[in-house]
Structure 1
Amino acid sequence: MEIILASASARRQELIKRLTNDFNVIISDFDENTIKFKDDCGLYVMDIAEGKALGVKSRVKNQAIIIGCDTIVSFNGKILGKPKDDEDAFNTLKMLSGNVHEVYSGLAVLDSTSGNIKRDFVCTKVKFSPMSDEQIKKYIETGEHKDKAGSYGIQGYGGIFVEEIHGCYYNVVGLPLNKLSKMLRGMGVNL
């Protein structure tokens, strides 16, 4: 059975290779802005992940398992998206400095033939050490913050700010592998 990752994320594409090399990528054209946040981060990321998987379904001819995923960062009940610019990234990282935030990833695994879909999410708590303005500026100069929820990448230079995590590391990178593996097995896919 074909496995399709409905994501343009290079990080997710690299991570899924830890489960299988036999997959294809079809980038979903789902408009994430159609999903409204209703004070429930888990539900929010699952709804977006499902939208991404369903957005690919019509382009699939053969039976396939389609994987949709979405990751957000939350701090004090507020969703921190991808930074608009360097100033936005600085302000986000300054806010996270010395604090604990949550990273949520929603997963949707869809059987394109039966329409059966399984949804779930993972939440990981991440504590940052206090950071000086100079450290934050130096990090922003690397450019790594661009296109990353919360303005950092734990798998890169941003990892130096992480004092501790509680939960799945791969969730923070963008694809909770353990949860995805269990969901795939639940759909009859043994990798």
Structure 2
Amino acid sequence: MPARRIVLASGSPRRRELLAAMGVPFDVLVSEVDEAVDEHNGPHDVALRLARRKARAVAGRVPDGLVIGGDTVVELAGRIYGKPGDALEAAAMLGELAGRAHQVVTGLAVVDAASGELREAATTSVVRMRPLGADEIREYVASGEPFDKAGAYAIQGLGRRLVTSVAGDLDNVIGLPTATLRRLLAHFGVSLPAPAGQEEARG
């Protein structure tokens, strides 16, 4: 178990659950950073920039420890999708993603609050969504699930019924690529238990 204090700069319940499943004791301090997406930059740049801003904002409020910032965006045909602002925007996003493959990019930034040292990385997965009818989209939007999710769907919830395939890290699509985070934390001397089954696979 890590001896250093870990702070998650996110109010996302999905990130909290995934971090807890890694066996990491941590505190949560929400960054309150504006998450508006700048579509003039690529998805990796957007996700990493927001992750850095979140981590640095919280690192400035704590005396020490490692602060984790994360941000997830969806990209399709050069357009970047963040979280929908309302039901109409959510329905429009889903209509555009339906029947096509899109990228899900999560940027992670880890900042040492005491020294200011930063390590960051972006992880990409490819998700294919099946064709969706207008009634199905309306029903899913009415569930309320899309509203705090990049791309307007939650693959770990009802949204899994919309998806036909995932290439890459599923945790990344949920919002916290745990393998990437392990590597970033290891740079700061934080060693975590291997995921279940990993040691057997190596044998």
Fold shared, TM-score > 0.5 on shorter chain: yes
Letter in 2 for 1:113: A
Number of the residue aligned with 2:14: 11
Write the letter of the residue equivalent to 1:24. D
Determine the structure 1 residue equivalent to 2:86. 85
Counterparts of 1:187 and 1:65, CA distance in 2? 8
- Structure 2 equivalent of residue 169 of structure 1: 170
Contact 2:39 2:79 in 1 (8 A): no
1:65 corresponds to which residue?
A: 66
Compute the RMSD of aligned alpha carbons.
Answer: 1.4
Deviation at 1:115, TM superposition (A): 1.5
Aligned match of 1:29: 32
Of 47, 53, 56 in structure 1, the residue corresponding to residue 55 of structure 2 is 53
**Correspondence 1:73-112 to 2 at 5 A:** 73-112=74-113
Amino acid at match of 1:131: L
Whole-Å separation in 2 of the counterparts to 1:123 and 1:187 = 23
Name the counterpart of 1:155. 156
Give deviations 1:93-142, integer Å, cap 9, x for gaps: 11111001111100001111122110100011100111111221221121
Closer/same/farther in 2, CA of residues 48 and 94 from structure 1, 3 Å limit: same
Moved more, 118-127 or 42-51: 42-51
Indicate if the aligned counterparts of 2:129 and 2:165 stay in contact, CA closer than 8 A.
Answer: yes
d(CA) in 1 for partners of 2:32 and 2:90? Answer: 26
Q: Which amino acid aligns with 1:57?
A: A
Q: Give the match's secondary structure for 1:105.
A: strand
* Equivalence for 2:117: 116
Is the CA contact 2:72–2:82 (under 8 Å) kept in the aligned structure 1? no
